[in-house]
Amino acid sequence: MIKSLLFIILAAASAFYPQSAHWLRIAEKAKPDLHHARYTPVRMVEAVPDSSAFQGWRYLEAELTPSQTDTMVLRHGQVLTFDFGRHLVGYLSFSTRTLRRCQDGPLRLRLFMGELPAELNTPLEPWKAWLSRAWMQDEIITVYETDRVVTLPRRLAGRYLKVEVLATSRDFDCALTDLSFDAVSSAGEDTGFRRTASPLLDSIRAVSVTTLSECMQTVYEDGPKRDRRLWAGDLYLQSLANRYSFRNFGLTKRCLFLFAALAADDGTLISNIFESPQPHPQEGSYMLTYSLLWNSTLLEYLLDTGDTLTAQTLWQVAKRQTEDALTYLTPEYIFDIHKRDVWLFFDWREHEGLDVSAPMQAATIFALEQTYELARLLGRTAEVKQYPSVAAKMRRAALRHMYDARRGVMLSGSGKQLSVQSQTWAVKAGILSGAKARKALTTAMTDPKAIQPGTPYATHYLVEAMILAGMPEQARAYLIDYWGGMVRRGADTFWEAYDPNDDYISPYDFFPVNSACHAWSCTPVYFIGKYPDIFR
Amino acid sequence: MIKSLLFIILAAASAFYPQSAHWLRIAEKAKPDLHHARYTPVRMVEAVPDSSAFQGWRYLEAELTPSQTDTMVLRHGQVLTFDFGRHLVGYLSFSTRTLRRCQDGPLRLRLFMGELPAELNTPLEPWKAWLSRAWMQDEIITVYETDRVVTLPRRLAGRYLKVEVLATSRDFDCALTDLSFDAVSSAGEDTGFRRTASPLLDSIRAVSVTTLSECMQTVYEDGPKRDRRLWAGDLYLQSLANRYSFRNFGLTKRCLFLFAALAADDGTLISNIFESPQPHPQEGSYMLTYSLLWNSTLLEYLLDTGDTLTAQTLWQVAKRQTEDALTYLTPEYIFDIHKRDVWLFFDWREHEGLDVSAPMQAATIFALEQTYELARLLGRTAEVKQYPSVAAKMRRAALRHMYDARRGVMLSGSGKQLSVQSQTWAVKAGILSGAKARKALTTAMTDPKAIQPGTPYATHYLVEAMILAGMPEQARAYLIDYWGGMVRRGADTFWEAYDPNDDYISPYDFFPVNSACHAWSCTPVYFIGKYPDIFR
């Protein structure tokens, strides 16, 4: 058994790094214990269609209370919705109690856990999303024996539980009882709490922290409902938010090692990792933007912890990612996005034609600088001594080929596309700064033809860019308006996709499958913690 | 734990019989081990609507073979039907195999095990039966992790497995593999095999034996798909069939003790018993017809085994049942079916207004005689010395009040209803014999207005009555026609409800929920074994 497990670990580890099997063991050793907490429903609710409510549905408190269901006969066709009062990740249990005679036939129940009211009340058939229908957390179960506890094997995420009674027998009566939720997280204690002058900002921070803690399991998951896996881009933002909240750097270390151990055979990182049945990457999911952010995560981890041993150990992996990025450069120091088949994710707006030439030029510059900084801290600048000059050349090339001096914005690709994302990353990479940066950001954000951010992920970089560009008040207002908009719409946790002008936005063509607790939206806690003068 | 289990057992045992807790322990000690056998599908089939087929559906062999599914990509919307080639009772396992990339989202499958083609292909919604919808063996499951074996917790019964793919992810491919069925039965070896001159009769015997063995689990179940419990009336017929096949009398002993231990507080038997989580009767299910047949079962058990100890131990229970029956008698020695609220089951035709006055008069006479015979074998006739004279008086009263001498039939109730059931039981009870018996049976069977048997249960008693009445050729022809009709319609096991003129007959208002492997239809093996000259 142990021998075969070892074989699996060795087989899964990267062929490029001789130490990768060892790295996997380090990652497994750093796997955190989960904290458990038990929750019971706080109220019953009834769904009301309401065009003014987010996604068209609102929950109103029902007259029935959760404890009253203990003695209420279940009847075919009944629908009961329980509200646990907060977002939870974990395992649902319930029991049934025989009220009259004895069970003479099985029950059939549909148990549907959801994060948002509309998710639970929008017809799912016909299924319109291009993701699996099975992501919806509705399980149909047969209860063969009443008066015993049933625990659903599936880990669930959500706040509301809708129970539909699909079958009962007329010859006995029973009730649904003992609903209980065993909530799990590895986050620990939020030590970064700070009250601001704005109650809404305080709410935003609280929702951010919940979002992060729900995603902190045995890895930093992107979303505990979906995809339930480790993505390098989400990891970067989570690790930043973690600094100003849970300071659980052991989890960051585990995730850094997992990516390194499970790199592709050419040493490039794979964008996302599954933990079960044994850690493995999503084969072929090469996404250079995320690989480069792994370098930044390692740098930030080193700054947070002083764990030079880890950083030295993983240095070669970081260097491999920037080296890989450099192979895309043209002789003019332009990143050629068409050179190879590669996914360069910046925002889900890619579906709407977001051109990533300019953002990728900037992201590469940023990565070179971050990696050089890492080398400096590790005393290894000799290995990457050309990075500063390459970055400088790339900056000049960007200004020459992508900057429209008349309009004061970066334009991306042969179509000279104007997007907020291009300005954001240009600022982050230092291509634009000061007044130029402010002009570029303001112009793109106000031009009705410009592509705007479509996710909290892209919005994070925009807020950061505003701060870097010297627009602190605008950054504060934008963050409060954007994340506060979710709070006003009833968010218990921040969402994967949010557009203030489109409640039904979905990267998957069907909003109920959106994740409503998504790591990449948790960064207000980072901004509030890092910039107390701005987010006062 | 042991202490609380004991408490439950004591609490469940009858308050009337001081020894009942001990009897429950005897029953538990006699619980048989189950024999296991592994089956895999023999072919794939496709459902074809066909008005000439039983209940409108036929399965044709598909081009695809079961082993080909091992490498076939599962796709949303796909339907695969596997044929195990025979009826099975037990546990279904399968696995999934990743064919491309790795699983990035859950699968959702509907696994529907069924006994008959129409059961699997008739729309179940809206649900029309008055029994629980959850009796249908369709389970919807979410597969979170491919490449591992899933075993459904529900014990299933059937021959066909329909798999519907409700959700997949486009980003990986997987196949359904390793379908396997762990079949269970306590029956053992059929030692009563005898070849007859009729291949159809041989088939009937084989199907009978399968039916019985599928129902022989840790009790004699009425049907392994539904109700999966011990009924005293089914037990009687099963114990008779068992004599000519498995001769597994330990199971009969267990069931006799279970009923006795779990009698009502007044010592009357309860008609049916559940085994789990601990043996318990269906509260309030008092059915005198079945209680009296328990006496006959005990008598037959004694004759089969010579186990006088058991019969002596349980004698008081038998006596209590006949004493109970006698309380219904009027001064004219007529069984008054309206005296108390009691279920007197003879056939599902009760829904169509079957009057049970005449059958119950006869069943009581039969019970008195059987119980007296039991007393005789146990040397206890002094305790029931009045039974022969009461039986004789009841016979005379029946002839006086219920026999229409002109038409030569028994008529039941104030409406003077003519039914086959009234004649059947009159013959079994010796109210009618010889030419009178033949006349009564023949008249009722040929009168278009007479109520005919609606189940194999009632048909058993009719065939028996024909033999008792000296109509061996008619009995043989009837049995071959009736049970052979099921064989010709594709029965692997005999059905709970069968009417040669109505393929859609259902006691529950919806035929798919009918049990297609039902103990009370297994008695051809009894007739063939007991009457080799007739069923030659």
Nearest to A101 among B169, B276, B282 (CB): B282
Task: Give the closest residue to A338 by CA, choosing from A425, A424, A414.
Answer: A414
Task: Give the closest residue to A38 by CA, choosing from A81, A80, A92.
Answer: A92
The pLDDT tens digits for A292-308 are 999 999 999 999 999 99
Say how many C-beta atoms besides its own lie within 10 A of residue B124's C-beta: 16
The CA-based dihedral angle spanning residues B68, B73, B75, B79, taken in that order and rounded to the nearest 10 degrees:
10
Using the predicted structure, report yes or no on whether residue B254 has a pLDDT greater than 70.
yes
Euclidean distance between CA atoms B332 and A517, whole angstroms: 79
Residues of chain A with C-beta less than 8 angstroms from the C-beta of B171: 282
β-strand pairing of B43-49 with B230-231? unpaired
Nearest to A134 among B105, B130, B277 (CB): B105
Instruction: Enumerate residue ranges in chain A where pLDDT < 70.
Output: 1-12, 350-351
Euclidean distance between CA atoms A262 and A83, whole angstroms: 40
The pLDDT tens digits for B372-405 are 999 999 999 999 999 999 999 999 999 999 999 9
The interaxial angle of helices A456-468 and A472-488, nearest 10 deg, is: 160
Nearest to B227 among A104, A131, A226 (CB): A104
**B366: amino acid identity, one letter:** F
Q: Take residue A368 and report the two structure tokens written for it.
A: 């070179």
How many CB pairs lie under 8 A apart between chains A and B? 101
Closest-CA residue in chain B for A136? Answer: B106
Closest-CA residue in chain B for A169? Answer: B132
Give domain A35-185's CATH architecture. Answer: Sandwich (2.60)
Window 472-501 of B, Cβ < 8 Å to A = none
Using the predicted structure, report yes or no on whether residue B18 has a pLDDT greater than 90.
yes
Euclidean distance between CA atoms A293 and A289, whole angstroms: 6
User: Which regions of chain A carry the CATH code 2.60.120.260?
Assistant: 35-185
Euclidean distance between CA atoms B278 and B27, whole angstroms: 12
Q: What is the CATH number of domain B199-530?
A: 1.50.10.10
Mean pLDDT of B161-187: 97
Residue B169 touches chain A, beta carbons under 8 Å? yes
Output the CA–CA distances (angstroms, integers) from residue A316 to A4, A261, A393, in the order listed: 29, 12, 24
Distance from CA of B224 to the nearest CA of A (A): 13
Nearest to A133 among B101, B108, B144 (CB): B108
| Per-residue model confidence (pLDDT) at position B3 | 44
Answer for the pair B421, B453: CB distance below 8 angstroms, yes or no: yes
Answer for the pair B117, B213: CB distance below 8 angstroms, yes or no: no
Answer for the pair A230, A275: CB distance below 8 angstroms, yes or no: yes
Q: Cβ separation of A134 and B107 shorter than 8 Å?
A: yes
Task: Give the closest residue to A220 by CA, choosing from A268, A151, A290.
Answer: A290
**B243: amino acid identity, one letter:** R
Q: Choose, out of B74, B108, B287, the residue to mutate when testing the contact with A (most A CBs < 10 Å).
A: B108
Using the predicted structure, report yes or no on whether residue B30 has a pLDDT greater than 60.
yes
Residue position matching structure tokens 């970066």: A410
Helix (H) or strand (E) holding A288: helix A288-305
Residues in chain A: 536
Residues of chain A with C-beta less than 8 angstroms from the C-beta of B226: 105
Residue B414 touches chain A, beta carbons under 8 Å? no
Q: Choose, out of A74, A108, A282, the residue to mutate when testing the contact with B (most B CBs < 10 Å).
A: A108
Q: Cβ separation of A134 and B142 shorter than 8 Å?
A: yes
Using the predicted structure, report yes or no on whether residue B257 has a pLDDT greater than 50.
yes
Answer for the pair B313, B319: CB distance below 8 angstroms, yes or no: no
Nearest to A132 among B167, B274, B284 (CB): B167
Output the CA–CA distances (angstroms, integers) from residue B124 to A169, B119, B134, in the order listed: 16, 9, 11
The rounded mean pLDDT for chain B is 96
Residues of chain B with C-beta less than 8 angstroms from the C-beta of A274: 102-104
Nearest to A140 among B102, B107, B140 (CB): B140
Answer for the pair B497, B505: CB distance below 8 angstroms, yes or no: yes
Alpha-helix residue ranges (DSSP H) falling in B353-419 = 357-378, 387-402
Q: Return the biggest CA–CA distance within chain B.
A: 83
Q: Cβ separation of B102 and A166 shorter than 8 Å?
A: no
Written as one string, the DSSP assignment of A188-226 is ---------S-HHHHHHHHHHHHHHHHHBSSSB-S-TTT
Answer for the pair A280, A32: CB distance below 8 angstroms, yes or no: no
Of all residues in chain B, the percent with pLDDT exceeding 90 is 95
Closest-CA residue in chain B for A156? Answer: B144
Q: How many CA atoms lie within 13 A of B327 on its CB side?
A: 11
β-strand pairing of A107-114 with A173-185? unpaired
Q: Take residue A164 and report the two structure tokens written for it.
A: 């539909």
β-strand pairing of B138-143 with B409-412? unpaired
User: Using a CB cutoff of 8 Å and minimum separation of 24, what contacts does B303-311 make?
Assistant: B303/B377, B304/B239, B304/B243, B304/B247, B304/B249, B304/B252, B305/B249, B305/B253, B307/B249, B307/B253, B308/B377, B308/B378, B310/B253, B310/B256, B310/B257, B311/B374, B311/B377, B311/B378
Window 264-283 of A, Cβ < 8 Å to B = 274, 276-277, 280, 282-283
Q: Cβ separation of A105 and B130 shorter than 8 Å?
A: no
Euclidean distance between CA atoms A487 and A481, whole angstroms: 10
Q: Cβ separation of B142 and A139 shorter than 8 Å?
A: yes
Residues of chain A with C-beta less than 8 angstroms from the C-beta of B91: none
Using the predicted structure, report yes or no on whether residue B10 has a pLDDT greater than 90.
no
Euclidean distance between CA atoms B287 and B342, whole angstroms: 6
| Per-residue model confidence (pLDDT) at position A15 | 86
Window 183-202 of A, Cβ < 8 Å to B = none
Task: Give the closest residue to A449 by CA, choosing from A486, A418, A482.
Answer: A418
Distance from CA of B64 to the nearest CA of A (A): 26
Q: Cβ separation of B101 and A167 shorter than 8 Å?
A: no
Cα–Cα–Cα angle for A84, A85, A87, rounded to 5 degrees = 80
Residues of chain A with C-beta less than 8 angstroms from the C-beta of B104: 227, 229, 274, 282
Residue A125 touches chain B, beta carbons under 8 Å? no
Closest-CA residue in chain A for B132? Answer: A169
Euclidean distance between CA atoms B430 and A262, whole angstroms: 84
Euclidean distance between CA atoms B281 and B13, whole angstroms: 10
Residues of chain A with C-beta less than 8 angstroms from the C-beta of B130: 170
Euclidean distance between CA atoms A498 and B312, whole angstroms: 79
The pLDDT tens digits for A448-485 are 999 999 899 999 999 999 999 999 999 999 999 999 99
Q: Cβ separation of A102 and B167 shorter than 8 Å?
A: no
Answer for the pair A297, A260: CB distance below 8 angstroms, yes or no: no
| Per-residue model confidence (pLDDT) at position B5 | 46
Written as one string, the DSSP assignment of B405-457 is TTTTEEEETTTTEEBHHHHHHHHHTTSS-HHHHHHHHHHHHH-TTSBPP-SHH
Euclidean distance between CA atoms A83 and A46, whole angstroms: 10
Nearest to A105 among B101, B131, B140 (CB): B131
β-strand pairing of A403-404 with A409-410? antiparallel
Q: Cβ separation of A167 and B132 shorter than 8 Å?
A: yes
Distance from CA of B241 to the nearest CA of A (A): 26
Euclidean distance between CA atoms A420 and A439, whole angstroms: 12
User: Which regions of chain A carry the CATH code 1.50.10.10?
Assistant: 199-530
φ and ψ of B325, to 5 deg: -60, -40
Q: Cβ separation of A282 and B148 shorter than 8 Å?
A: no
| Per-residue model confidence (pLDDT) at position A12 | 65
Residues near A7 by Cβ (< 8 Å), separated by ≥ 6? none
Using the predicted structure, report yes or no on whether residue B134 has a pLDDT greater than 60.
yes
Using the predicted structure, report yes or no on whether residue B234 has a pLDDT greater than 70.
yes
Residues near A270 by Cβ (< 8 Å), separated by ≥ 6? A259, A262, A263, A264, A281, A282, A283, A284, A285, A286
